């Protein structure tokens, strides 16, 4: 049962990431300034995605674009995961169902990645 829930959350997150990529491609054409340095329109999901990316960098799962290295900083990863937890708590009841599912799914996946990275 828990494995099935994990799979559903994981699939939902993957689907959402794909949708976000498509939206970003569409927004690039209408973004401030246009071109490669364009800034996408701010959204809650984009904000959560940026924090999730920071966690993945801190876990060493993705390359730090500044250093071009995979660096592990578990304290930073934990801090950012905890920050996402605070955001979840403080925004409860104020998010769209889509935003709530996305935040819950990302937070769950990041916590599991942290546990795996810590062992």
Query: CATH number of the domain that 90 lies in?
Result: 1.20.58
18 or 5, which is more confident: 18
What six digits make up the tokens of 26? 């569409």
Q: In Å, how far from its chain's centre is CA 5? A: 19
Q: Domain span at residue 62?
A: 2-118
Q: How many domains does the chain have?
A: 1
pTM above 0.85, yes or no: no
> pLDDT digits over 45-65, tens only?
999 999 999 999 999 999 988
> b/e map of 99-112 (b: 16 or more CB within 10 Å)?
bbebbebbbebbee
Q: What is the pLDDT of residue 39?
A: 82
Q: What is the pLDDT of residue 57?
A: 94
pLDDT at 25 over 80: no
Q: What is the pLDDT of residue 84?
A: 98
């Amino acid at each position: 049962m828990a494995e099935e829930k994990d799979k559903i959350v994981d699939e939902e997150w993957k689907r959402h990431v794909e949708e976000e990529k498509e939206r970003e491609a569409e927004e690039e054409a209408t973004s401030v300034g246009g071109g490669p340095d364009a800034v996408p329109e701010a959204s809650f999901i984009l904000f959560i995605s940026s924090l999730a990316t920071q966690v993945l960098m801190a876990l060493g799962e993705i390359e730090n674009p500044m250093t071009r290295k995979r660096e592990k900083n578990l304290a930073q990863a934990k801090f950012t995961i905890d920050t996402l937890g605070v955001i979840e708590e403080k925004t409860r009841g104020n998010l769209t169902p889509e935003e709530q599912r996305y935040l819950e799914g990302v937070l769950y996946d990041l916590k599991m990645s942290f546990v795996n990275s810590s062992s």
